[in-house]
Amino acid sequence: MKINCLILLILQIIFCKSTFAETAAIPAPPKIDASAYLIMDFDSGQLLASENIDQRIPPASLTKMMTIYVAASELAENKIHLDDKVVVSEKAWRMLGSRMFIEVNKEVTVGDLLKGIIIQSGNDASVALAEYISGDEDVFAELMNQHASRLGLTNSHFTDSSGLPNEQHYTTAYDMAILAAALIRDFPDIYALHSEREFTYNGITQQNRNSLLWLDKTVDGIKTGHTEEAGYCLVTSAKRDDMRLISVVMGSKGEKARTETSLALLNYGFRFYETRKLFSANEILTTAKIWKGDTDSVRLGLTGDLYITIPRGQFENINTVFDLPERMIAPIAQGDEKGKVKLILSDKEIVSRPLFAMQSIAQGGLFSRLKDDIRMILQ
């Protein structure tokens, strides 16, 4: 009797563990008092929590993320250099709001202007750099919009380099997340400046306005913003172990609120989700039968790395399914899309990516093609 009870108890424990693994639930994200917000995984691009992410909102000083992106692009193309000397115009010197305190007709390096924008959020530095790159801030704004279009920021439009209010100057929480990811991915050296806590110029030391740099050592950027129209905004990124998250909070009620809500979103994402790399670019994932070709099969794979973000503890429950065309007939060119790879979790499709031919397949000889014609008819 005791043995039977022990066996029953063991079976109950095993069953409970199995059931928990299959039905583990993620709690609702924290309540955020803001016009729009999101938390996004950097590698997979998956949103873990979001609200009003496509609502057009004035970006305030979040604009400077695009100013920095444009400048970093110019640096990468050797069109400008960190030690270039920039003569400060009267327009730049007269800028109101947050300032680096550059002086009219004085020289300042591009490197110092970058720090003045990133760390001190200097409107004067933004205009000075914009004028140096494009000759005129309006022309620079056009350059900003060209980069925005290339990056897929479909709901953003910029009219200046610093974020001053303008009806035609707007963005969204989602676009800011995409821009943040691009800045981190494309220009890591420039992005590293966002973690610096203070900068001294002209004898004046100013601290980075992102207070999360002091509250959470995993946070390494990115940008604060505030105007009466925009409210209090903050785009943040943090990396814990091998997982990087990006949070965006726009239209919050105050400095403390935007900091606390951003940290709450980050903690939620890191606590309940994990990101794994499943496949690498150009890795052969599967092969498929080829008809009428000079070979019998084609190798299929992805053109980019595939990351997934899933609830913690659920990685072993993912199933990979290949959805391939019923028949593939030569010729096939390398890079042709041929089917999809799908990831299934708890009977739900969580990711679907196109598969591409990793090689070119030419037509086979006449006899081989006729033989396959007959086989296809018989099938």
Rounded distance between C-alpha atoms, residue 341 and residue 27, angstroms: 29
Query: Considering 35, 44, 50, 64, which one is annotated as catalytic?
Result: 64
The answer to whether 230 and 251 are in contact (CB under 8 A) is yes
Query: Considering 89, 121, 126, 237, which one is annotated as catalytic?
Result: 121
Q: Is the backbone peptide bond immediately before 32 cis, with ω within 30 degrees of 0?
A: no
Instruction: Name the residue type at position 55.
Output: Q
Tokens of 204: 């004046």
* DSSP one-letter string for 235-293: EEEEEETTEEEEEEEEEESSHHHHHHHHHHHHHHHHHHEEEEEEE-TT-EEEEEE-BSB
Rounded distance between C-alpha atoms, residue 30 and residue 356, angstroms: 40
Rounded distance between C-alpha atoms, residue 164 and residue 110, angstroms: 22
Tokens of 197: 């806590």
SS3 state of residue 28: coil
64 is catalytic: yes
N- to C-terminal Cα distance for the chain? 60
Strands 47-51 and 36-41 turn out to be: antiparallel
Place of tokens 């084609």: 298
352 is catalytic: no
Rounded distance between C-alpha atoms, residue 329 and residue 297, angstroms: 10
SS3 state of residue 92: helix
Across the strands, what pairs with 113?
none
Query: Considering 44, 61, 98, 162, which one is annotated as catalytic?
Result: 61
Residue 299, CA distances (Å) to 338, 368, 369 in order? 10, 20, 20
Catalytically active residues, by annotation: 61, 64, 121
